[in-house]
Structure 1
Amino acid sequence: MNRAIYLATTHDCAANLAGEAYLIDQDIDHILYLWVNDPCIVIGRFQNPYSECNLERMEEDSVQLVRRKSGGGAVYHDRGNLCFTLIGKKESSTKEENFNLVLQGLRNLGIECTLSGRNDILLDGKKISGNAFQTTATRFCHHGTLLITSDLSVMANYLTPSETKLASKAVKSVASRVSNLSEAKKDITTEEVQKALIDAFCEKYGTTPVVEIDFKELEEAKANYRLFGDRDLILEKTPQFTHSLNHRFSWGEGTLSLDVDRKMIVKVHLFTDSLDTSIAERMVETLEGVTYDRQALQMVMDRCTEEDVLELLTYLVSQF
């Protein structure tokens, strides 16, 4: 049985996910991969970042947007969160076996956790670990998070979208009550949890050396970086969705509907009781073909000289 343990030295989440993609292709029976990221939001493969994230706040605070290949919901990572990946052969690896390994590692630290039906690990009923899975023709990849000393107070800054109503076929995240492992062991450190998982892996599969690796420098991983961490590419690949808003303006009530595809407003509908019926056509002329982001809409607003259109644009921009 060949096996390997890798510890990422970079804290760039996109690079670390590109490294995970590289490791999935390696012909190794059992792999434990441990990685810690700088502040970022990681969305699932089929999620809409516009409805999951506060993109403007993320940009202001330099919080990275990353899309993973596995499913599941949007999650916040920082240096107080340990990511783990367990990779094995598709025909012999199971998530049950992997969960047992993680739970045993925590148990060795004196922390008793339980597995919930949604593939979460709970501490006293609160989520301290979310997990997702990916399979290829021959490989099974199970990755998850372990909240250790994460700053839970800032999650809502980035995971709570604006009041905008977005209709989309994308998968929505499920809200969970979360907690840190530090609630059970106040002086716990990321290094301590890393060692516990490494020891549990070695107990199960045999003594294995730990290899430190920088996936920001590995050529095979660098080639896939954009797939995970290119913000424009992530937004362009968002499934088509509709942004709708309703508001009473000085000229009447308006319901604006924007169909967005590949980061572009492709269709505009305005339903209104305004006495000036031309506003609906003027909104179409103003917004169709515009990039769907605050900066582009702000530029349109700055150029606008029509008071009724400007009032609606001002409200639209305020919703981002």
Structure 2
Amino acid sequence: MLCIKHHSTDPYFNIATDEFIFKHLEEDCFMLWRNDNAIIVGKHQNTIAEVNVDYVKDRGIKVVRRLSGGGAVYHDLGNLNFSFTRTGKNSEMVDFQRYTKPILEVLQSLGVEARFEGRNDLTIKGKKFSGNAEHLVKNKILHHGTLLFSSDMKDISGALKVNPLKYKGRAMKSVPNRVTNISDHLEEKITLDEFTDKIMDHITNTFDDAKMYSFSDEDLKKIEEIRDKKYSTWAWNFGSSPDYNFEQGLRTEGGTIEMHMNVSKGIITDVKIHGDFFHIKDIEPIERALESTNHEEVEIRKVLQQFNLNEYFNKITEDDLIKIMF
């Protein structure tokens, strides 16, 4: 088994790396890695409904869709991620406890009473510190999990907090959990780097065929290609979302305005704008112009800037319209 300490903290590159080791390395792998400020959403989720858009934008948090299912999670440099890839028989591949067992063994050796609970979580005293997800194709599995070590809990709650009344859709929503950091439960304090080393040492000592591996220049080039063509694109991270309906209202200086939209594959298919605002021109041309536009701020602003909005909305600005569309 190849054991990899991955040093990149770029979320787009790292999620691409997960795909690379799954699809392009024949040997089983174990990898430890970290992302800097990112929300990682499950493959089948409605991305834009999972995030606090204003919060994410203000803090420069990247949003990336992964290969596996499950819910959205927040990553920062206080969170350590681990990945396993393994080839075997289908009947024995999906086994969350098998892949989280080494993590629990390390924590228990540090005096932390951690356990596996529910479908795919690791907890300490009933609070979650690790969520896990798996992606299975034929006889090969990718298992990856988070390990909250010293994450900023304020950012976790802020980044994922969203008004549930905004969106109506069939996509699976993330369920909020009570969370905790591993570092708060250690009898003797250690750094995240030291914790990372302990996990890797345990893996290399536990698996007879374990050997350290560094990506070659050719590997890195392939990962960059996967990142650029897929994981850093709007089409994958947002456009792949399931269909959904969006409704939101806002009280502005010019009155109350409501936005009603249907969105399919990330593209606005129908728009209706209601409210008690005053206008000079009929707003239907704006509604029609927004149809077939990506549900993305940059693209929506391009459409709105084609109009002199003062002629359509009295004392309602472009920023007001953007705010009620997310």
One-letter amino acid of the structure 2 residue matched with residue 245 of structure 1: Q
Distance 1:16 1:63 in 2: 15
Give CA-to-partner distance per residue, 1:255-314, whole Å, 9 cap, x none: 5421123443221235678999x9574553453344433344455277213354764976
Q: CA deviation at 1:248?
A: 7.1
Could you tell me which residue of structure 1 aligns to residue 196 of structure 2? 194
Distance 2:9 2:218 in 1: 9
Distance 2:130 2:150 in 1: 13
User: Do the aligned partners of 1:270 and 1:283 also contact (CA within 8 Å) in 2?
Assistant: no
> Which deviates further from its counterpart, 108-117 or 124-133?
108-117
Could you tell me which residue of structure 1 aligns to residue 162 of structure 2? 161
Which of residues 298, 301, 310 is equivalent to 1:305?
A: 310
Contiguous gaps of at least 5 residues in structure 2:
none
Which of residues 213, 219, 222 is equivalent to 2:221?
A: 219
Q: CA deviation at 1:79?
A: 1.1
- Cα distance change on mapping 1:248 and 1:57 into 2, 3 Å: closer
- Cα distance change on mapping 1:253 and 1:81 into 2, 3 Å: closer
User: Do the aligned partners of 2:9 and 2:33 also contact (CA within 8 Å) in 1?
Assistant: yes
TM-score (norm 2): 0.84
Could you tell me which residue of structure 2 aligns to residue 209 of structure 1? 211
Distance 2:252 2:54 in 1: 25
Which of residues 70, 73, 76 is equivalent to 2:71?
A: 73
Could you tell me which residue of structure 1 aligns to residue 144 of structure 2? 143
Could you tell me which residue of structure 1 aligns to residue 20 of structure 2? 22
- Cα distance change on mapping 1:286 and 1:314 into 2, 3 Å: farther
Could you tell me which residue of structure 1 aligns to residue 59 of structure 2? 61
Could you tell me which residue of structure 2 aligns to residue 259 of structure 1? 262
> Which deviates further from its counterpart, 288-297 or 117-126?
288-297
Give CA-to-partner distance per residue, 1:27-73, whole Å, 9 cap, x none: 32x42111111111101101112111123432332221111000011
- Cα distance change on mapping 1:135 and 1:207 into 2, 3 Å: closer
> Which deviates further from its counterpart, 79-88 or 279-288?
279-288
**Mapping of 1:94-105 within 5 angstroms?**
94-105=95-106
Answer yes or no: is 1:43 the counterpart of 2:41.
yes
User: Do the aligned partners of 1:164 and 1:244 also contact (CA within 8 Å) in 2?
Assistant: yes
DSSP 3-state at the match of 1:174:
coil
- Cα distance change on mapping 1:312 and 1:14 into 2, 3 Å: closer
User: Do the aligned partners of 2:3 and 2:204 also contact (CA within 8 Å) in 1?
Assistant: no
One-letter amino acid of the structure 1 residue matched with residue 145 of structure 2: G
One-letter amino acid of the structure 1 residue matched with residue 268 of structure 2: I
Answer yes or no: is 1:293 the counterpart of 2:296.
yes
- Cα distance change on mapping 1:279 and 1:21 into 2, 3 Å: same
Give the aligned CA root-mean-square deviation in angstroms: 3.2
User: Do the aligned partners of 2:96 and 2:132 also contact (CA within 8 Å) in 1?
Assistant: no
One-letter amino acid of the structure 1 residue matched with residue 146 of structure 2: T
Distance 1:50 1:100 in 2: 34
DSSP 3-state at the match of 1:305:
helix
Distance 1:215 1:36 in 2: 20
User: Do the aligned partners of 1:90 and 1:137 also contact (CA within 8 Å) in 2?
Assistant: no
Distance 1:201 1:228 in 2: 29
> Which deviates further from its counterpart, 169-178 or 303-312?
303-312
Q: CA deviation at 1:117?
A: 0.9
User: Do the aligned partners of 2:204 and 2:211 also contact (CA within 8 Å) in 1?
Assistant: no
- Percent identity among equivalent residues? 26
Answer yes or no: is 1:244 the counterpart of 2:247.
yes
Q: CA deviation at 1:247?
A: 5.9
Could you tell me which residue of structure 2 aligns to residue 86 of structure 1? 84
- Cα distance change on mapping 1:216 and 1:259 into 2, 3 Å: farther
User: Do the aligned partners of 2:106 and 2:202 also contact (CA within 8 Å) in 1?
Assistant: yes
User: Do the aligned partners of 2:183 and 2:189 also contact (CA within 8 Å) in 1?
Assistant: yes
One-letter amino acid of the structure 2 residue matched with residue 265 of structure 1: I
Give CA-to-partner distance per residue, 1:64-89, whole Å, 9 cap, x none: 11110000111111111110012212
- Cα distance change on mapping 1:309 and 1:177 into 2, 3 Å: same
Q: How many residues align?
A: 317
Q: CA deviation at 1:17?
A: 2.0
Answer yes or no: is 1:7 the counterpart of 2:5.
yes
> Which deviates further from its counterpart, 196-205 or 101-110?
196-205
TM-score (norm 1): 0.85
Q: CA deviation at 1:140?
A: 1.5
One-letter amino acid of the structure 2 residue matched with residue 305 of structure 1: N
Could you tell me which residue of structure 2 aligns to residue 182 of structure 1? 183
Which structure exhibits the higher relative contact order, with contacts defined as CA atoms closer than 8 Å and separated by 6 or more residues? 1
DSSP 3-state at the match of 1:236:
coil
